[in-house]
Amino acid sequence: MKGKIKTPVLVCSKEKIAEKYRLLTSALPGVQHFYAAKANFHPKIIKTVVSLGMGLDVSSPGELNLARENSLPGEKVIYTQPIKKEEEIALARDYEVKALIFDNPEEARKISRVWPGAPVLLRIKVENPFCVVNLSEKFGAEPAAAKDLFLLARDLGLRVRGIAFHVGSQTINPTPYFETLKIVRRLFNVAAGEGLYFDLLDIGGGFPIAYRQPIMAAESFFQPIRSTLENYFPSTEIISEPGRFVVGDACYLVARVVGKAVRKGMRWYYIDDGLYGSFSGKVYDHADYPIHPLKEGEGKPSVIAGPTCDSFDVVYREVILPEMEVGDYMVFKSMGAYTLASASNFNGFDKPELLIEEDELEFQVF
């Protein structure tokens, strides 16, 4: 580390975000990608993904406002929250978003009252043992109920464009994608038998990144998904909702040791960010971020704790670290997604500043 910097600070690379987007477009040709704003909705990140040509997947009025601030047309925005206030539906209507999501009869009725003829996608439930965060416990209709739901939506005057699903966050095996696509193909056929010809498919997100454990190579992961899409949906418009995959490993956190102690024979290092800040993703997202102490020396089991006065705020236990001193720096990689987005100001601590590496970095980390 050269020079003193104000920490904690989150450093993100526009080129790494662009690299992940290029990988996606190569691995899934023809698929339109709508960045999941919830992963990291910092204005600098949103500006970067929009500049690459991505649309936005939004789930709240605040996220919809990000599209407005970046002059995105409605066709480049999908509103994927399955349960919405009527005021939210009205905002999406006025913005003329590409599609709304629903997964139950009451939501279909609500949408039809506020936005007659709205373009909608029916979200179905996915069974997936390979994800870290299960997104089908709270949302998604059973596939067996899909026919009744899309026929109800049609009878209510909605424009049912197709099906949406999300296999779950940080899915490390592609099997749930192509197995779900087979179910979706059958539902498309059932709809056609009822005179409903779907033209839009949303395959969600959940594409994984590496944390402290290795994952399948990207080409191997995406190949069966690509093949299934080409075989089953050759003429359907297809969209996805990548968030973590785009921004997760494009950012790293720099934190500083602000205190040290020995407790029951174990070294404890207290840093200026913790579970109530950027490491909130360890709690909500079950992420295990790689640690890079900017110090050499013999490694010993150690504890890393956050700065708040809450004993819950312990970030790592029994990790191998060289002996650190107050003022030393640690770098934590792959911290672009579900970190700053869910950080709080608990105890009055400020959230980290976010810097764009290519434009704003005035120090050298490595």
Q: What is the 3-state secondary structure (H, E, C) of 108-126?
A: HHHHHHHCCCCEEEEEECC
* Cβ neighbours of residue 174 closer than 8 Å, sequence gap 6 or more: 216, 221, 222, 223, 224, 225
Give the angle 8-9-12 at the CA atoms, nearest 5°: 155
Burial class (CB in 10 A: 0-12, 13-18, 19+), 18: middle
Say whether 332 sits in a helix, a strand or coil. strand
Give the angle 161-163-164 at the CA atoms, nearest 5°: 120
CA 263 to chain centre: 37
Do you find a cis peptide bond into 8, omega within 30 degrees of 0? Answer: yes
Query: Which residues pair with residue 300 across a beta bridge?
Result: 321
Q: Which of 12, 131, 251, 309 does the annotation list as catalytic?
A: 309
CA atoms within 13 A on the CB side of 218: 15
309 annotated active-site: yes
First vs last Cα of the chain: how many Å apart?
6
Q: How far is CA 337 from CA 28, 136, 203, 230, in A?
A: 21, 20, 20, 30
Q: Whole-angstrom Cα distance, residue 308 to residue 280?
A: 13
Give the angle 57-241-279 at the CA atoms, nearest 5°: 85
DSSP 3-state percent helix, strand, coil across the chain (nearest 5) = 35, 25, 40
Do residues 333 and 292 lie in contact, with contact meaning Cβ atoms separated by under 8 Å?
yes
Locate 4 and state its tokens: 């003193």
Q: Whole-angstrom Cα distance, residue 277 to residue 335?
A: 12
Question: Could you give the residue numbers annotated as active site?
Answer: 309
